[in-house]
Amino acid sequence: MLKQRIITALILAPIVIACVFFLPPAGFSVFLIGALTVGGWEWANLAHYDGWQRYLYALAIALLLVAVSFLIKDSASWALAILLIAGLWWVLALFLVIDYPRSQRYWSSSWVLTLLGPIMLVPGYVGLMQLKLTNDGHFLILLLFFLIWGADIGAYFTGRRWGDKKLAPAVSPGKSWAGFYGGVTLATLITIAMCLWLGKPVMLSAAGLVFLLGCILVVLFSVLGDLTESMFKRQRGIKDSSQLLPGHGGVLDRVDSLLAGAPIFALFVLLFDWQ
């Protein structure tokens, strides 16, 4: 399984990074909408849809993302509003994860899960597009990816070595506190290294410390994104959102952390005034 995961990652990662660096904003938007439409198809299964209903739901997600792309293009305030709503949702998701399985009574119905799909998917798109349009946008998106990938890698190896105490056993029995600390530590080191490479913000300054703390906060939300999707999958009784990506499951299984981390990072960058 690890070998399969590595091979798939080695294929996908260069493609994603190339899209970040070489596609113009319009092309990057199309790439994101395509990927998240597949995520919408997978989410339809979590919302208890089957057959043609899953494709119809995916189409609705695609149309919604297209509409949002025009909305945020014409008004930055709309983008900010969506990011703020995402922040509120992920705070609520934290309590749902902590209270699982009792929290199922609030969200397990098909109609609630139907509404949660756009809340999960749309802010991730908005967050990445806002980062793309920011000064040093390529660097910031790459940093975001490396934070999430680094946290995942750090959690995997430290969790395997010292992962006796479980992080959220009712939601994801495989995750441990040791893995959590290892992931945060590696992500912190990545942030410092990449900021030193870019030359800003200066790490030994107040701005550098604030930025470092903001990146750590993004990692915490990315872990929450992973746990939240695990919660929905556990309630549905499935291990992976689909089998599209060998060794990784589905698109949602790969972007669940990003869906939480991207809007929080974009919101932080805007408030931090990276420009």
Whole-angstrom Cα distance, residue 64 to residue 66? Answer: 5
Q: What is the DSSP letter of 48?
A: T
What pLDDT, on a 0 to 100 scale, did the predictor assign at position 98? 97
> Encoding tokens for residue 218?
């993004």
> Encoding tokens for residue 192?
């410092």
What pLDDT, on a 0 to 100 scale, did the predictor assign at position 275? 61
* Cβ-proximal residues to 187 (8 Å cutoff; 6+ apart), any chain: 146, 147, 148, 150, 151, 154, 215, 216, 219
pLDDT tens digits, 164-199: 899 999 999 999 999 999 999 999 999 999 999 999
At 131, the pLDDT band (50, 70, 90 cuts) reads: very high
Average pLDDT score over residue span 214-219? 97
* Cβ-proximal residues to 93 (8 Å cutoff; 6+ apart), any chain: 224, 228, 260
* Position 273 pLDDT exceeds 90: no
* Position 236 pLDDT exceeds 90: yes
How many residues make up the chain in this entry? 275
Lowest mean pLDDT among 67-71, 75-79, 187-191, 227-231: 75-79
Task: Specify the amino acid at residue 187.
Answer: A
What pLDDT, on a 0 to 100 scale, did the predictor assign at position 147? 96
Q: What is the DSSP letter of 200?
A: -
The answer to whether 90 and 224 are in contact (CB under 8 A) is yes
**From the DSSP assignment, how many helices (H) and strands (E) are in the chain?**
10, 2
**Hey, where are the domains in the chain?**
2-272
The CA radius of gyration of the chain, in Å to the nearest whole number, is 18
* Position 221 pLDDT exceeds 80: yes
Q: What is the DSSP letter of 249?
A: B
What pLDDT, on a 0 to 100 scale, did the predictor assign at position 258? 97
The answer to whether 107 and 113 are in contact (CB under 8 A) is yes
The answer to whether 52 and 89 are in contact (CB under 8 A) is no
Q: What is the DSSP letter of 245?
A: B
* Position 74 pLDDT exceeds 90: no
* Position 102 pLDDT exceeds 90: yes
What pLDDT, on a 0 to 100 scale, did the predictor assign at position 190? 96
Lowest mean pLDDT among 149-158, 209-218, 266-275: 266-275
At 1, the pLDDT band (50, 70, 90 cuts) reads: low
The answer to whether 203 and 192 are in contact (CB under 8 A) is yes
